[in-house]
Amino acid sequence: MRIQDIKLGVYEKAIPLQFSWPEKFRVAKEAGFDFIELSIDGVEPRINRLQWSKEELAAIRRASEEADMPFYTMALTANRYFPLGDDRESVREQGKAIVRRAIEMASFLGIKIVQLAPYDVNGRDSTARTRENFNGSLAELIDFAALYGVILTVEVMPDVPFINSVKAARELTDSFDSPYLQIYTDTGNVASTGADPVPDLKYGGRHLVACHVKDGTLGCFRNVPYGEGLVDFERCFREFVKMGYRGFFVMEMWSEEKESFVPYLKEATDYIRGIMKRVDESKG
C-alpha cells in the first residue's frame, strides 16, 4: 500500500464554524481531503452537539453521504473540563457521561475512532489517586465503547506527562490490553516537547491507529504553518511506511472562524500530499 492511499482528513476547526455542513464538506473536498474529523470541544455550540437528536444526526449523516465525505474520526476534547480522574466524583461522572454520549453519536454517524482528551485532572496537581481514578473511569468507558464497536484512543499530549509520547501512551494501552483502546499520536505535539517524533512512532506498532499530521516548534503545538516548524514530515512518512501503518492521517489546523483561512487548506494539503508522493516514488 502506498502512503498516498491512506485516508487524509482535516480537523473540522480548520473550517469556519459558521459554514453549513454541506459547505464544510465542499471546502474539505475541494482542498483535497478525504474526510472531516468531527470536533466536540468544551465551548458552545460544539459541546451542545452532544444534545443532537436522532433527526439532526441523520440530517448530517445524509449531507456527509451526499458529499461523499465521511466522518471517520472524532476529536472529543469536551471531557477535558470534566476530567476522568478528578477527586470529585460528580466531575468524573460528568466526564464519563460526555464520553458515553460521544460514543453513541460516533456509532450513529459511522465514526470509527473517538479521540479522548486524556486528562486525569485539569488545572490541579496530578496524583497517584487521580491516575487511579482515571484508569477506573477509562476501564468503564472501554467496556461501553466495545458495545458499539467504537475504538477509543488516547491522544499524545505535551501537557499530560503520562501520555506525552507514543512510548508513554503504549504503556497505558498495554495495561488495558483491549482492542477498544488504542493510540492517536500528533507529530507537532511530540516535537513541541523537544523530542523527535520519528523514533517515537515505532513504539505504537499496531496500536497506533491515527495521527495528527501537524507542525510544531519548541513549546508551541498550535498554528505553526506546515514546513516552518521542527517536524520532518518526509522522515515521519518514511517511518510510517516502514511500520506498515494502516491508520488515518488528519491535518490539524485552526481557522479561528476566519473565512480568509480557507485558501490555506489547499496549500497545506498540496504540501503534505507532495511529500507523500515523493516518499512513494522513492520506494519504487
Q: Residue 270 CB: number of other CB atoms within 10 A? A: 13
Q: For 178-200, how does the pLDDT look when each residue is reduced to its tens digit (9 = 90+)?
A: 999 999 999 999 999 999 999 99
Q: Give residue 284's pLDDT.
A: 58
Q: Mean per-residue pLDDT for 238-245?
A: 96
Q: For 73-108, how does the pLDDT look when each residue is reduced to its tens digit (9 = 90+)?
A: 999 999 999 999 999 999 999 999 999 999 999 999
Domain chopping of the chain, boundaries: 3-283
**Residues 169, 195: Cα–Cα separation, whole Å:** 15
**Residues 48, 51: Cα–Cα separation, whole Å:** 6
Q: Mean per-residue pLDDT for 113-121?
A: 95
Q: Mean per-residue pLDDT for 160-174?
A: 95
Q: What is the mean pLDDT of the chain?
A: 96
- Overall CATH class of domain 3-283: alpha beta
Work out the angle between the directed axes of helices 54-67 and 21-30 (0-180°, nearest 10): 30
Query: In the structure, what pLDDT confidence band is assigned to residue 283 with cuts at 50, 70 and 90?
Result: confident
Q: Mean per-residue pLDDT for 22-27?
A: 98
Query: In the structure, what pLDDT confidence band is assigned to residue 276 with cuts at 50, 70 and 90?
Result: very high
Q: Mean per-residue pLDDT for 127-156?
A: 97
To which residue does cell 494502516 refer? Answer: 246
Cell numbers at residue 60, please? 448530517
Q: Give residue 140's pLDDT.
A: 98
**Residues 133, 127: Cα–Cα separation, whole Å:** 10
pLDDT at 173 over 90: yes
